[in-house]
Amino acid sequence: MSASEDLFAAMSAPPEKVAFEPTRSAGIVRMEQFAIRTGAHYASKRNYDLGANNRSTVSALSPWIRHRLITEEEVLTQTLARYSPSTAMKFIQEVFWRGYFKGWLEQHPSVWNSYKQGVRTAQNRLHSNAELNADYIGAIEGRTGIACFDHWCRELVETGYLHNHARMWFASIWIFTLRLPWELGADFFLNHLIDGDSASNTLSWRWVGGLHTKGKTYLARQDNIAKYTDGAFKTIGQLAKTTLPLFEDDIHPVVPLEPMARQPHGDHLLLVTAEDCRPDDFIPEGASGIIGLGVPLKHGQSNQQHAFKTGAIGDALDRLGAPSNVAVTDDWATAIIAAAQAAGIKHVVTPFAPVGDVATKLAALQATLATEGITLYQHRRPYDTHTWPHATKGFFKLKKMIPTILSTLGHAHVEGP
């Protein structure tokens, strides 16, 4: 397809309100619907946030990709079936940003621990500082008086989604105009975004504040917001005009990626979590039982985000031919032991959980499982295995490797960006 055909098809499409249904089939429909616009249209229109009722400028696939109801590889395959890599390279690069963030955090896990501690510290400050608490409540309730910010806050709470450009503006205003702790803003996002991801969310907020790329900040500007919201918002005199980069004392050492342990052959219990809801396309066959585990709704988490996660796991179980009732519990060890014993097996296999809450939970229960003679194996996707090692510095290093990674994954004769 040519660039002109791409733009013509895109311009003739009506405004789109995307329904985020937690099923693989819904993700496939959206993926196929947007694939025609992953070329010139996306490159020229991706920065425009036209609101919740018109997502025609972006794919809005992130909720399904985040929980891997559909995968990055599938999206790339759909794209490259329609366009040459050079025509669709901007979209392809955006797909790889998620892998970059995951790979970078996997090799700097102390950043996640530091963020979690920062949230606790900031929350304690709210209890002791009435003025800060009032400003924070006003922000998360969309009562700052900054029209665009208040609109995005309500949109996030109501829909569980924001355009990426709006996320950047929001974070910048939170940090530099409202002068609120960045960790609380990141926590607000992580509890409401249905595509909320520990790596992408944490590192994006750190990037805006000047922590990820040391000293380099992102400043939300009135003219930029007006242009890319098609004149919907004017913020004259309301936004910070300068930024002072955030600073931290912590040093985050590089932790080498661990090679995956050899997977068991034959009988095993397949564990499905919200981290990867399509294990059937890469987990070795031989499951004698399947269990899906979720966690109870936590304080501050939106109902719709919790419902999406639980629904995604249930959809995976249904497609795998297992009972679709998800065990929603904090006690994963007891649930896994009971399921393994019922199936008479000693091996549990689950898709690899990158740094985040699920990874923390899996690490904590391994010792308990071992006391029952049960071994937990995590299986990493080839896409992650080939992508993460290049996420050691800035994105540019990974960007240069995209043609090689695509070729390794089976997309032959891919030219450079």
Give the HSE-up count for residue 260: Cα atoms under 13 Å, Cβ half-sphere.
19
CATH topology for 268-379?
A: Rossmann fold (3.40.50)
Q: How far is 249 from 330, CA to CA, in rounded Å?
A: 33
Tens-digit pLDDT profile for the chain (417 aa)?
A: 555 555 555 555 567 899 999 999 999 999 999 999 999 999 999 999 999 999 999 999 999 999 999 999 999 999 999 999 999 999 999 999 999 999 999 999 999 999 999 999 999 999 999 999 999 999 999 999 999 999 999 999 999 999 999 999 999 999 999 999 999 999 999 999 999 999 999 999 999 999 999 999 999 999 999 999 999 998 999 999 999 999 999 899 999 999 887 888 778 999 999 999 999 998 888 888 999 999 999 999 999 999 999 999 999 999 999 988 999 999 999 999 999 999 999 999 999 999 999 999 999 999 999 999 999 999 999 999 999 999 999 999 999 999 999 999 998 644 544
Q: How far is 152 from 290, CA to CA, in rounded Å?
A: 39
CATH number of 110-228: 1.10.579.10
Q: Report which of 78, 236, 215 is spatially closest to residue 148, judged by C-alpha positions.
A: 236
Residue with tokens 């311009």: 11
Q: How far is 335 from 328, CA to CA, in rounded Å?
A: 10
Q: How far is 323 from 314, CA to CA, in rounded Å?
A: 8
**Which residues fall within 8 angstroms of residue 25, CB to CB, at 6 or more apart?**
none
- Indicate the pTM of the whole model: 0.95
Q: How far is 104 from 267, CA to CA, in rounded Å?
A: 34
**Which residues fall within 8 angstroms of residue 129, CB to CB, at 6 or more apart?**
none
Q: What pLDDT, on a 0 to 100 scale, did the predictor assign at position 417?
A: 45
Q: How far is 198 from 159, CA to CA, in rounded Å?
A: 19
Sequence spans of domains, the chain:
3-106+386-408, 110-228, 268-379
CATH number of 3-106+386-408: 1.25.40
